[in-house]
């Protein structure tokens, strides 16, 4: 292919032996080969540079994260309950909420919202979105349909502002079958590695 574009060189059909060079000096073909070798060297050098650059950019853009508060919350305005087949209850609740108590021990009651507020930062300001996977592990729950669940996971994309984002995540207990004592773990993964993790212990209150 390199020789085909060289001056003074063209291919002719030589039966079953494939193409051969004809009607031109072999110097053109040799020069093309030399140019091809040089191009390959340049190509591989550039490829190595690109791979190195991407690796360095990824390292520089590696996010940092911290938990600002954790505990149980109350909604400060009208909340909205939306269907979410991936969650244990099949629903998620959306709305603004404020912290009632900073704690990792959560007393169970219907309507209880618990979780944590976090901050992700240290990312290149040119990056506008960070893809994460949320993994939630909770005590085994037996649903009304007879199936059981001990957690769920799904992918989310958080919008960044100047290389950072602050947000909340948690769980709202709305059903009797969710009133189960035990350990909860919320974990954010970035590129399959733990970025952030928070645990809670739910317990039944004495009547």
- Both 144 and 200 in one domain: the answer is yes
Alpha-carbon distance of 101 to 55, in angstroms, equals: 42
Ramachandran region, residue 76 (left: φ > 0; alpha: ψ -120 to 50; beta: rest): alpha
- Both 36 and 94 in one domain: the answer is no
Q: What confidence tens digit (pLDDT) does each residue in 2-44 have?
A: 333 333 333 333 344 433 333 343 444 334 334 444 444 544 4
Alpha-carbon distance values, 75 to 83, 100, 101 (Å)? 18, 10, 13
- On the question of pLDDT at 188 being above 90, the answer is yes
The domain that holds 149 is classified in CATH as 2.60.40.2390
Alpha-carbon distance of 47 to 30, in angstroms, equals: 25
Alpha-carbon distance of 76 to 28, in angstroms, equals: 79
- Both 48 and 73 in one domain: the answer is no
- On the question of pLDDT at 65 being above 60, the answer is yes
Q: How many structural domains comprise the chain?
A: 2
Q: What confidence tens digit (pLDDT) does each residue in 112-124 have?
A: 999 999 999 999 9
Domain that holds residue 144: 64-204
- Both 145 and 182 in one domain: the answer is yes
51 token code pair: 């791979």
- Both 119 and 148 in one domain: the answer is yes
Percentage above 90 pLDDT, the chain: 58
């Amino acid at each position: 292919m390199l020789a085909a574009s060289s001056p003074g060189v063209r291919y002719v059909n030589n039966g079953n032996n494939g193409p051969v060079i004809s009607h031109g000096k072999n110097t053109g073909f040799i020069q093309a080969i030399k140019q091809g070798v040089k191009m390959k060297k340049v190509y591989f050098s550039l490829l190595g540079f690109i791979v190195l650059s991407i690796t360095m950019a990824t390292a520089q853009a590696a996010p940092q994260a911290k938990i600002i508060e954790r505990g149980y919350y109350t909604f400060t305005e009208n909340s909205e309950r939306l269907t979410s087949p991936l969650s244990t209850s099949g629903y998620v609740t959306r709305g603004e909420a404020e912290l009632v108590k900073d704690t990792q021990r959560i007393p169970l009651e219907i309507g209880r919202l618990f979780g944590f507020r976090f901050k992700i930062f240290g990312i290149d300001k040119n990056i506008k979105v960070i893809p994460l996977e949320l993994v939630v592990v909770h005590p085994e729950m037996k649903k009304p349909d007879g199936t059981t669940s001990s957690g769920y996971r799904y992918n989310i994309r958080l919008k960044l502002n100047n290389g950072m984002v602050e947000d909340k995540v948690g769980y709202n207990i709305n059903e009797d079958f969710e009133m189960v004592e035990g350990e909860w773990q919320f974990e954010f993964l970035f590129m399959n590695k733990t970025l952030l993790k928070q645990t809670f212990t739910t317990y039944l209150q004495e009547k």
